[in-house]
Amino acid sequence: MNDVIFSNSFVFNRCERSKYSYTDCTKGSCKHYFAYMHKGTAKIVSDKTTIYIKEGDVFYIPNKCSYKSYWYGEDAIIFDSLGFKYMPNFDENGFVLQSISSTKEEIDLIEKLVLRKPIDYEAVADFYRLVSLLAPKMKKDEKSYAEHVIKTIKKEIYFDCHAKISHIAKKCNISESVIYATFKKYANITPNEFRQKVLIEKANEILITTDKSIEEISQALQFSSSSYFRKIFKKYTGTTPKAVRKKTIL
């Protein structure tokens, strides 16, 4: 990513509106936004939730969020807006439209950022600091996060079928308990059962494309015994390695 694309992915502004303002963003927001309400109030309505913003509140609007917003003030409406397009793993976390309980340090960072022009590397560093403070407190869409967890773990298992779940969990910064609970609830399979399916896919490919014996394939894929390999193979394919090999030869 070059410097122009990187800098253009951030838009930090102090916004002022009249006594009443309405925004139709049903086509979806073009960035993620953190915002701080200096003056006035607001109601933001998405298809999943409605949040009410008062003076002193920090709130978040997800990228591509479809919403309508209503802004109210006695004489003016003022809020700071921090728009950003890219943040490692941010989309995958499934953060929802929400108000965020915030500290003076976080609010001071927001105000500092909107006044900093142009947006340079020091500003981006301050912004990353702000995100590191806010993100742990933010609410997630459980289903979106679950899809991210399942996709991530499956990818790791495809890459290394014999990696321990504890090692994968540490590498992906996801707890083992979250991995097992997420697979059970949303994938209707355990991570180890998925691992077995991947191993059987590999075994089937070896049976079709080589003349290796059942015992050699079993050892290569690190099954405890050839009899256990045959048992697992039949569980997921409904047939035996011998039958697959015979069919291939014919």
| Alpha carbons 48 and 163: distance in angstroms, whole number | 38
Q: What is the pTM of this model?
A: 0.65
pLDDT at position 37 is 97
Q: Which range of residues forms the domain containing residue 237?
A: 193-249
pLDDT at position 246 is 85
pLDDT at position 199 is 96
Query: In 3D, which of 48, 127, 28 has the Cα closest to residue 83?
Result: 127
For residues 148 and 126, state if they share a domain. Answer: no
Surface-to-core class of residue 250, CB atoms within 10 Å of its CB (0-12 exposed, 13-18 middle, 19+ buried): exposed
For residues 9 and 129, state if they share a domain. Answer: yes
pLDDT at position 89 is 67
Query: For 140, which DSSP code?
Result: B
pLDDT at position 19 is 85
For residues 27 and 42, state if they share a domain. Answer: yes
For residues 33 and 126, state if they share a domain. Answer: yes
Query: In 3D, which of 87, 76, 75 has the Cα closest to residue 33?
Result: 87
pLDDT at position 7 is 58
Surface-to-core class of residue 187, CB atoms within 10 Å of its CB (0-12 exposed, 13-18 middle, 19+ buried): middle
| Alpha carbons 145 and 182: distance in angstroms, whole number | 9
In this structure, what are the phi and psi dihedrals at residue 20, rounded to the nearest 5 degrees? -140, 140
For residues 72 and 7, state if they share a domain. Answer: yes
List strands edge to edge, sheet with 50-53: 20-25, 67-72, 41-46, 50-53
Q: Which two tokens stand for residue 244?
A: 């697959």
pLDDT at position 92 is 65
CB 58 within 8 A of CB 81: no
For residues 173 and 206, state if they share a domain. Answer: no
pLDDT at position 240 is 95
Place of tokens 């991995």: 179
| Alpha carbons 211 and 219: distance in angstroms, whole number | 15
Give the residues of the chain that fall short of pLDDT 70.
Answer: 1-7, 89, 91-92, 249-250
For residues 147 and 132, state if they share a domain. Answer: no
